[in-house]
Structure formats: structure tokens, C-alpha cells
Structure 1
Amino acid sequence: MMKKETVKMKMREIVELSFFVPSLKEAVLTSIEEHAKRSAFLFGRLAGVHYQMFSENIKETERIAAAV
């Protein structure tokens, strides 16, 4: 199963590429960090495992886990 840190890093990467308002970007990045302190991102990691099992496109696994 993919690691918690991998999911968190992918979430941060998506935010960095997708948010253009600095204050909003910083708020979302802070929220990710705070959530990571209390969560192991198990549901997202499980979604990643299922995606790997049932999809031929393994490259998207981290993005799927981060999105969930």
C-alpha cells in the first residue's frame, strides 16, 4: 500500500499546480498539513490500491489517492 507521505506530497503538488491565489493556496496547504497530523489518509490509500487492482493505468494511482 502506498505511504501516507506519498499521498500528502501528491496533494501538495496538485495544490501547487492548481491554485493561483496565494492566500488561498497557503490556506489549503496549511489544511493539508493539519489534516496529515490527525489522519493516515487510509481511505485515499485504499482507493489507490483498488485503482491499481482494477485499472491498467497505474501512473494515475497517486493522483487518485490524493483526490480521495
Structure 2
Amino acid sequence: MKVKVHWIIDGVAEMDVATPEEAEQKVDETLRALIANNKELFETLGARAIQGKAYLPGSEDDIETQED
């Protein structure tokens, strides 16, 4: 029987950098290396996209604030 599994990996990397763009670049380089070194695994998992956006921490980063 063929079964499809839709999966999502969600994460937040925190780092000290000069700009949000630098943070995005560092994460991009790390993920690209991970994919390049594990091609068979990513093909087996059917990975199609990885997406992210840098932001400055603040109230939008605080779940309790959003629920109030």
C-alpha cells in the first residue's frame, strides 16, 4: 500500500549577527550543506522546500503576549 506523509519541520535559530540578512545567509549556508551531505535522506523524505525569514525579537516572538 502506498501512503503519503506530509511533514513540516519548524525551528527558530538565534544568533548574534550584524543584520537579519546575515542571519538568513548563515542559516541558508548551513541548510544547503546539510542537504548536500545528506542527499539520499532528503530524497527519501521527499523534501521539496525549506523557507525562512529573519526578524528581530520582540512582542511577536512572545506567545503569551499574543494570547492575551
TM over 0.5: no
TM tier relative to shorter chain: 0.3 to 0.5
Of structures 1 and 2, the larger Rg is shown by 2
Higher relative helix content? 1
Question: Normalising to structure 1: TM-score of the pair?
Answer: 0.38
